[in-house]
Amino acid sequence: MQSRWREAEAARCADDLELRAYASRLLGAEPSLVLHGGGNTSVKSRARDALGRETEVLHVKGSGWDLATIEPAGFAPVRMDALLAMADMERLSDAAMVRAQRSAMLDPDAPNPSVEAILHALIPFAWVDHTHADAVVTLSNTPDGERRLRELYGEAVLIVPYVMPGFDLARKVREMTRDADWSRLGGMVLMHHGVFTFADSARESYERMIRLVDMAEQALAGAAAPVGDAARSSRAGQPTGGEDLRLLARMRRAVGKERGAPVVARLDDGAEAVAFARDATLCAAARRGTLTPDHVIRVKHAPMLLEDDDPEAAVADFARACHERFARLGGPGLTELDAAPRWALWLGRGAVAFGRSAREAGIVADIVAHTLPAVRAAEALGGWRPVGERELFEVEYWELEQAKLAREGSGGAAEHAGKVALVTGAASGIGRACAEELRAQGAAVAALDVNPDVADIFRGADALGLPCDITDGAAVAAAVEACVRHFGGLDIVVANAGVFPASRAIEEMDDATWAKSLEVNLTGHQRLFRETIPYLKLGFDPAVVIIASRNVLAPGPGAAAYSCAKAALTQLGRVAALELAPAGVRVNMLHPDCVYDTGIWTDEVLAARAASYGLPVEAYKRRNLLGVEVSSRQVARLVSAMAGPLFSCTTGAQLPVDGGNERVV
C-alpha cells in the first residue's frame, strides 16, 4: 500500500479540521482500509464553547459520515474533560454513553460522536486514525494471529485482545496502557477488529497507518495465490442461459419473501468468486463468521449456501438456523431480526449479495468481495478463525448498531424499493421520464434504447443503461439477461419504445414506412414480452405498462401505420393480461396524447400533423378538452402508479392521458 499524501493539497487546508477531513478522505479512498462508513478518525484541538470559554476538544468522526467523503461538518466536537471522566467510570451503558457524549458536545447540531470517542480521547496524541484494514484483520483471524502480529510489528504496536467496541474497549486499552510509554508506540492492533495509529502530525499518523498495513499485506502476499485482476474481470462461471438466470430470480424471490419485501440481488460471477464457490473447504470456512464484527449488521453472521437447484429450501434452511441461533444466544429484551440471508455462496457459480435497494446490495457485495480473499489467505495460514459466535451475536444485536440501522431506514421505504424495472425507449421523452421516476421511487432500472447515449444517461448502483434495438431479437434477449444478471430479477416492464412516421395517406403509404412502424411499435414489444415474461412470473407484484396512444381510441387521418401498430400493441396487451393473470402479472395500457416534449414530436412532424387537422401548431397542441399540454413527467408518474399497489387489483385496463378528447369520452 502506497501513501496518497500530497503536501501541496494538505497545505491548502485552512485549519486542523480541514486537514483532519483531508487525511480522513485519504483513508476512505482505500476500500481495503474502510468500507461504507467503517473506521473513524479524530484530532484534538482547543475551541471556545457557547460562553466564549476556551476548552480542549476532540473533533471525532460523526455517526452517519463516511471517511471517503467526509467534510469538516462530519466531525463532532466533544469536550475532552468529559470524555476522560467517562473513561474513569467503572460502568457505562451504551445508551448512557451516547447521552453523555452528546451533552458534552460544543455544537448541538453536530452528528453523534463515534462510539470510539472515549478511546480516541485516551490516546495522548493530537491525531488518531482507526481503520478495519483487511490485511491486518486477516492476520488476526488465524489460529496464531496474535503471535504473527507480534513477530511482524514487535514492541512498536500494542496488541489488544478482542473486546466489544465502545466503552468496554476504551476501558480495556486504559488498563493495558496505565504504565505504557506511549512515545514508543506507533499503533495498536485490535484483534479481529482493526488498527489504530496516532502521532502529533496528521501526515505521520496517516503514513504510520499505511506502513503498518503495507507490512501486513507483504506478510500475506504468499499466503494464497491470488486469482488476479485480469482473471477477476473475466466472465468465468457466467450463467450461459436462461435456466441459470431464472434460478437466480427464484433465489431473489425466496430471499425477498423471507425478508418481507422485494430485494435486489447482485451476482458476482467473476473468476475469483467462482473459484471460491467451487471449493467446499472455503465455503465452509466462510460460514464461520465475518471479516470484522462491524460487518455483521450488513451481511449477518454467515452466507447462505446454495448447493443444488432449490433456492427456496436453502433460504428456509438458513432462516431455521437463524431462529435456532437466536433461541440459543438471545436474551430478555431482544427482538429477533429477520432471518433472510444477506449474501449467498452459489456452488460453482459465484456469490450473490441481497439488499432492499441496489445501494444496499452494492454495500453487501463490496464487503463480500473483501471477505473472500481474506478467507482464502487465512485458510492458507492455518484456518479462518474470526471472532466467536457469541461475540458476533452481541455486535449484531448491539443497541447502538441497531439504532444506526433504524435511523438509516427511518424515512420509510420508497414505493418501488427493492424492485427491478426495465424501460424501453429510455433515452428521451416518456421513456426517460419513466425510468427516472421509477428510479426516484426506489426501483433499480435497466434503461434500453437504440441510442447508445443511454449507457451514459443511466449509470450508477441503481441504473443500467443498455443500448438495444428492439427490432433485433438477439439484442433484446441479451439486454433482458443483462438486467437480470445485474439486479437479480425483474418486476416492472414499461413497453415504451416507438416511432411516429411522417403523416401519409393510405393510398400513398410505402411498404418501408408501414413495415418499420409494425416492426418497432408492435413486433419489437412482442419480442420484449417473450423474453421478460419468464422473469416477471418470478417477480414481486409484477406489472407491465404499455405506452400505446390516443390514436388507438381516436385515430386521425394520415397516421395509419402508427395507429394500426399501436392498436395491435394494445390488443397484444389485452391478450397478455388474460394469459398472465394466473401468474399474478398485471398488464395495463396508457393512451397518451398531446405529449410534445418527446423525441417523436419534431418540428416537422408537429407541423405536418397540425396541417392535417387544418390548425395552427399552437392550436393543435391545445386541442384537448382541458386545453392543456400533457408532459412526459405526468405520464411517468401515472406509469409508476400503475406499476404500484394503487393498481394492484387492475389488469387489462386502458387509460387515456390526453387532456380529454370528445371522440374518446
Contact between 165 and 115 (Cβ < 8 Å): yes
Three-class SS of residue 344? strand
Cell numbers that stand for 138 in this block: 486477516
Q: At what angle do helices 202-220 and 16-28 cross, to 10 degrees?
A: 10
Cell numbers that stand for 278 in this block: 467451487
Cα(66)–Cα(75) distance, rounded to whole angstroms? 11
Q: Which of 582, 584, 585 is nearest to 529 (CA)?
A: 585
Based on the number of CB atoms within 10 Å of its own CB, is 87 exposed (0-12), middle (13-18) or buried (19 or more)? middle
Query: What is the DSSP code string of 236-288?
Result: TT---SHHHHHHHHHHHHHHHHHHTS--EEEEE-SHHHHHHHT-HHHHHHHTT
Q: At what angle do helices 399-408 and 94-103 cross, to 10 degrees?
A: 60
The one catalytic residue among 153, 397, 535, 562: 562
Q: Which of 305, 299, 327 is nearest to 317 (CA)?
A: 305
H helix runs in 419-459, sequence order: 429-440, 454-457
Cα(189)–Cα(209) distance, rounded to whole angstroms? 11
Cα(227)–Cα(210) distance, rounded to whole angstroms? 24
In sequence order, what are the beta bridge partners of 195?
Answer: 131, 189
Cβ-Cβ contacts under 8 Å for 332 (sequence gap 6 or more): none
DSSP-derived letter for residue 662 is T
Q: How far apart are the first and last CA of the chain?
A: 70
Cell numbers that stand for 176 in this block: 493495558
Specify the amino acid at residue 610: A
Contact between 71 and 77 (Cβ < 8 Å): no
Residue 54 CB neighbours (<10 A): 9
Cβ-Cβ contacts under 8 Å for 612 (sequence gap 6 or more): 503, 556, 557, 558
Active site residue 562: yes
Strands 444-449 and 420-424: parallel
Q: What is the CA radius of gyration of the chain?
A: 29
| Location of C-alpha cell 504496536 | 157
Residues comprising the chain, all counted: 665
Active-site residue list: 562
